[in-house]
């Protein structure tokens, strides 16, 4: 997790997805721990519902207004899993157990990360449009964040409530 201070909320909603994406200097595929890849990457034979490739995952960070700290990462993963129609309670619990025990130390979910994961899961589950993780965001690269969010039903007002929750959790450290 290279630039922990990066935050897509620092940018105007009229900017295109491409303009914001170019500002992100996150982890490359080679930096992702194997256990994380196993559970979250669509190419893994045992990935969980809500699995998403790294490019689309980064786009979800942008659309949800989440930076790249563990707490924000947990929110994005929770959102993708909660928004997937095939996620069960067992998937959710299994992921939380693995993320809090077997992920490498800097990636391991602590209590505050689990709370953020749950907030993201709940937000994703309650959106009208489901399976957003399957969206091909490459076709949206020249589209404004405002328009993409509108098309997907991700409204900044509601996202702001969840961001406030995440920030409250971050400030309790």
For 108-128, the pLDDT digits (tens) are 999 999 999 999 999 999 999
Give me the pLDDT at residue 173, please: 60
- Sequence-distant (≥ 6) Cβ neighbours of residue 93 within 8 angstroms: none
Q: Does the structure show a pLDDT above 90 at 31? A: no
In the chain, where are the structural domains located?
A: 8-171
Q: What is the pLDDT of residue 1?
A: 43
Opening angle at CA 156, ends 151 and 157, nearest 5: 125
Instruction: Tell me which residue of 169, 162, 171, 165 sits closest to 112, measured CA to CA.
Output: 169
Who wins on pLDDT, 3 or 64? 64
- C-alpha 30: how far from its chain's center? 19
Q: Tell me the percentage of the chain whose pLDDT exceeds 70.
A: 94
Distance, in Å, from the CA atom of 119 to the CA atom of 50, rounded to the nearest integer, reads 15
Q: What is the mean pLDDT of residues 148-171?
A: 80
Is pLDDT of 98 > 60?
yes
Residue 139, pLDDT > 70, answer yes
């Amino acid at each position: 997790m290279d630039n922990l201070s990066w935050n897509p909320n620092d940018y105007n909603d009229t900017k295109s997805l491409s303009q914001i994406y170019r500002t992100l200097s996150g982890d490359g595929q080679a930096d992702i721990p194997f256990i994380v890849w196993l559970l979250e990457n669509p190419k893994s034979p045992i990935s969980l519902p809500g699995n998403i490739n790294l490019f689309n995952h980064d786009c979800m960070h942008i659309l949800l207004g989440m930076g790249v700290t563990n707490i924000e990462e947990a929110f994005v993963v929770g959102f993708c899993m909660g928004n997937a129609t095939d996620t069960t309670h067992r998937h959710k619990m299994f992921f939380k157990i693995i993320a809090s025990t077997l992920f490498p130390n800097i990636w391991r979910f602590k209590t505050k990360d689990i709370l953020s994961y749950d907030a993201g899961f709940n937000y994703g589950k309650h959106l009208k449009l489901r399976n957003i993780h399957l969206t091909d965001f490459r076709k949206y690269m020249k589209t404004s964040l405002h328009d993409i969010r509108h098309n997907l039903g991700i409204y900044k007002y509601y996202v702001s409530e969840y961001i406030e929750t995440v920030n409250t959790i971050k400030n309790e450290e």
